Amino acid sequence: MSDRIYSILSYLLISILFAATLGGSTPLPDAEIDKLGDYTRGIRYDFLSWVADASWIKLQQAALGSPYYLEHAGRKEIVTKYLHQMGLVLQAEWELDQIYTNPEITDPESASATLRARLDALYAEQRQLAPFAESVLEEQISIVLAEANLTTGGQPLPRPLYHISPLPMALIISPRETIRQDKNISLLVDFPVDKQDTLEEKITAELDLSALVVPVGGIGIYPTMGMRSTNLPWIVDTMAHEWMHNYLTWHPLGWNYDTTPELRTINETVASIVGGEVGEMVLARFYPELLSHKHPPLNLLSLYDQNLDPEPPPFSYRAEMHETRLHVDELLAAEEIEEAEAYMETRRQFMWENGYAIRKLNQAYFAFYGAYADVPGGAAGEDPVGPAVRTLREQNDSLADFVHKVMWVNSFEKLEEMIIVKTD
């Protein structure tokens, strides 16, 4: 146990560096960066405080260590109970929101008194369960990473520490004349949608930039942050995804995350591939019953675009979004910026009519979602980076071989050199 506490403490000391350097790429001129600071002053997320709190929780978990002495069935019961408890919390929060939204309820504070008391009790129970459930999942992922040879000296480094909590929103900035993420600024948790829209419109009008506030599913600081969810396949996928970002931080691919848009896409696509494969291994090893009726994995896009129809729409969403991206790229290449923005609004309305609610479709939207290119099509358009990463994975028999090659990539050209060109 003392070795585990020592190793976790060592990693947590480094976490301050992760938090201090977090904030996205910065190719914007200094003057524009300063202006963005003016727009987001007072609404930026405080990562240093979160890291300090999460680090203390992880040290307490390591000192307690009780989940490590339970049999497999006991560990599984902890996770199952936690997910059930999370479902009760989310349901109660939804009911509370409905009370405050219902115009027929004139005194929502009084009407919600009993529910708020029940929710407080649920929060207290959740705070007791969460450290145990997180410890179990961290250990299970560590076992799978070791079995997959994704280790350093026989141990996954850094240790996959993960803390589930409400996540900040992300302000994405792109130029209007091209699709490129220039800035990712973390904002307060639950930043209200009316203020999101006001902030975006103000930045566009006054700085001539494309802006969009989006939700995120996880953040690769240390310990990594994860969204609250009852979907275990998604949780383990996200844990492995964010762990991969932390692992890559110690290698050229991670060092250069913000150097170019291509390297950002490589990083995110590699993390998505690893998250998906390691997540499947965790389910097969510890929760095989979930594989037979596994729900489609959640993704970042599903946090922003809500399918309003429980029945599948009579069209392919990914294909339509892919077509949209291609035409937008053509219009921007022809310097027809206003035409491209008008076209994106028309397509947003088309998506709404076919069951998908997209609050705003603009250059920043494609700059953010287009970087997750582990699946063909969609918001990535004809970007060659995602297909190149997928090809390299296909050309390596094991996930470890793939990771140990791609982690040395420091440019898109270097990635292309690694791909074996087949000739007839």
* Span 191-221, pLDDT tens digits: 888 899 999 999 999 999 999 999 988 888 8
Per-residue confidence (pLDDT) for residue 303, from 0 to 100: 55
Cβ–Cβ < 8 Å for 96, 115: yes
Where is average pLDDT lowest: 10-19, 69-78, 147-156? 10-19
Environment class of 269 (CB within 10 Å of its CB; exposed 0-12, middle 13-18, buried 19+): buried
pLDDT-based confidence at 43, cuts 50/70/90? Answer: very high
Residue 21 has pLDDT above 60, yes or no: no
Count, in order, helices (H) and strands (E) of the chain.
17, 8
Percentage of the chain modeled with pLDDT above 90? 56
Per-residue confidence (pLDDT) for residue 73, from 0 to 100: 74
Percentage of the chain modeled with pLDDT above 70? 83
Residue 380 has pLDDT above 80, yes or no: yes
Average pLDDT score over residue span 48-53: 87
Per-residue confidence (pLDDT) for residue 25, from 0 to 100: 38
- Can you tell me whether residue 117 is helix, strand or coil? helix
Distance CA 304, CA 214 (A): 7
Q: How far is CA 299 from CA 186, 246, 341, 369, in A?
A: 19, 19, 25, 10
Q: What is the DSSP letter of 289?
A: G
Is the pLDDT higher at 373 or at 275?
275
Q: What are the structure tokens assigned to 219, written together? A: 């953040």
Termini Cα distance of the chain: 57
Average pLDDT score over residue span 367-388: 88
Environment class of 143 (CB within 10 Å of its CB; exposed 0-12, middle 13-18, buried 19+): middle
What are 299-330's pLDDT values in tens digits?
555 555 555 555 555 678 889 999 999 999 99
pLDDT-based confidence at 98, cuts 50/70/90? Answer: confident
Average pLDDT score over residue span 30-46: 78
What are 234-257's pLDDT values in tens digits?
999 999 999 999 999 989 999 999
Distance CA 308, CA 313 (A): 10
Rounded-to-5 percentages of helix, strand, coil across the chain: 60, 10, 30
Q: What is the CA radius of gyration of the chain?
A: 22
Cβ–Cβ < 8 Å for 364, 211: yes
Per-residue confidence (pLDDT) for residue 19, from 0 to 100: 42
Distance CA 114, CA 56 (A): 33
Neighbours of 32 (CB within 10 A): 17
Distance CA 332, CA 341 (A): 9
The backbone region for 153, taken as left when phi is positive above 0, alpha when psi lies in -120 to 50, beta otherwise, is left
Closest CA to 86 of 217, 225, 226, 230: 230
pLDDT, averaged across the chain: 85
Residue 145 has pLDDT above 90, yes or no: yes
Average pLDDT score over residue span 181-194: 91
Per-residue confidence (pLDDT) for residue 59, from 0 to 100: 79
Distance CA 88, CA 70 (A): 25
